Amino acid sequence: MASELAQSTHYIGKVLTDGHLEIPKTIIEQMGLKHGDEVEIAIRKVISPEVSISEETHSLIKDLVGTKASLEEAVEALTFIATEMMPTKEQRRLSHLLWKNQDGTITAEEEKELDALIDEGQEGTIRKAKAILALKHLGIDIIPGLEASVRVKYRNRVFPKNSVSMYTNH
């Protein structure tokens, strides 16, 4: 039986050479399926993958990943975009500059660098949101998996005694 996270979903799959149906790993993980689980399947033949993808989704995919050879490659690229992070070195520099800005000790040069890093982060956030939206239009909801990974990552994180964090109960 599927987990409580997602009881139903839809996706574009294909019939494999051995006659089995392909179910993407993201769907299996999202629904909490494991070997031997029974699932109900409603099948509708797709004449062409492009026909079943809305113009908005097709446009998002084209903008984010260009023209890919297959829908599977597009899904992989969108998933990568949706889960990519700013490199650690840049995250640390951004954090350092934000602290300097808050303390009022930031130089004009550092302020320009801070603005550039913030712009880069915002552009990345918009790309991630578009990728998540395109995946959602394709029937792939990665939000529960992302939320679960954030909860696990910050569950055991230790914060200074008097600090306030959005990841802990206050």
- The tokens of 155 are what? 């569950």
What would the pLDDT profile of 64-114 be if each residue is shown by its tens digit?
Answer: 887 765 777 888 888 889 988 899 999 999 999 999 999 999 999 999 999
Whole-model pTM? 0.57
What would the pLDDT profile of 102-118 be if each residue is shown by its tens digit?
Answer: 999 999 999 999 999 99
Q: Is 23 exposed, middle or buried (0-12, 13-18, 19+ CB in 10 A)?
A: middle
**Cβ–Cβ contacts within 10 Å for residue 138, how many?**
24
| pLDDT greater at residue 67 or residue 163 | 67
- The tokens of 164 are what? 């306030």
Q: 14 — phi, psi (to 5°)? A: -150, 160
What would the pLDDT profile of 110-157 be if each residue is shown by its tens digit?
Answer: 999 999 999 999 999 999 999 998 888 877 888 887 777 777 766 766
The CA distances from residue 33 to 37, 113, 132, 137, in Å, are 6, 46, 21, 21
Separation between Cα atoms, residue 50 and residue 161, nearest integer Å:
54
Mean predicted confidence (pLDDT) in 9-18: 73
State residue 167's pLDDT score.
45
Check pLDDT > 90 for residue 55.
no
Short-list 33, 60, 29, 66, CA closest to 134: 60
